[in-house]
Chains A and B, each alone.
Chain A
């Protein structure tokens, strides 16, 4: 399985600011995803990060609020823009290696714990 790191591991931010979270994988992967886990809740997919093109966002998530980059097959960033306390969550990236095929498990990074004051 891939080794996935995220930076920062946690941060406390002020309302109205933006934070960029990095996800680095130790090997090339086909698929990268970004999830949000609100306090005490399950995981919700924000978007699929596509290499070299715009991310594919899920219903309820938009590019202006959560811009995503994926410049290559081992790295992606998620920015949480114009933050409010409701954005306080754990943000996780995940990877898998079969494009568009189910049955292949996803591996998750350790997450970034964000608190917005």
Chain B
């Protein structure tokens, strides 16, 4: 079945450092891919998405490119801020009634 694997956390970075959170997936067909973010004590917010191969999703300085050849959707940001501290979830949606399958989440902590 479909699945999503993320790099384990927690990830601790200094402010203005470069961020990469790896995400790979297994799916039949052509899923859509998402990154969601969960700030402390809050619900999930959609950060970005890509619906087909080679699409790049971007938002708030974050980017991720849908790589079908490597079945990956790595999240990157060139310069993180303390306010980016949160848990990040990679997810996919295939042809299964629209439901989302989530990775295990990666906690990011950015220090000043």
Bound-complex Cα distance A12 to B52 (A): 43
Bound-complex Cα distance A41 to B95 (A): 25
Chain A's interface size range is 20 to 34
Contact A45–B98 (Cβ < 8 Å): no
Contact A43–B89 (Cβ < 8 Å): yes
Contact B51–A103 (Cβ < 8 Å): yes
Which residues of B are in contact with A by a Cβ distance under 8 Å? Answer: 31-32, 34, 36, 42-46, 49, 51, 89, 93-105
Q: List 19 A-B contacts (CB under 8 A).
A: A31-B97, A43-B44, A94-B100, A96-B98, A98-B98, A99-B98, A100-B95, A100-B98, A101-B98, A102-B51, A102-B94, A102-B96, A103-B32, A104-B32, A104-B98, A105-B49, A106-B98, A107-B46, A110-B42
Additional A-B contacts beyond A44-B102, A58-B99, A104-B98 (20; CB < 8 A): A33-B100, A41-B105, A43-B44, A43-B89, A45-B101, A92-B43, A94-B100, A100-B97, A102-B31, A102-B94, A102-B96, A103-B51, A104-B93, A105-B46, A108-B43, A108-B44, A108-B45, A109-B43, A110-B42, A110-B43
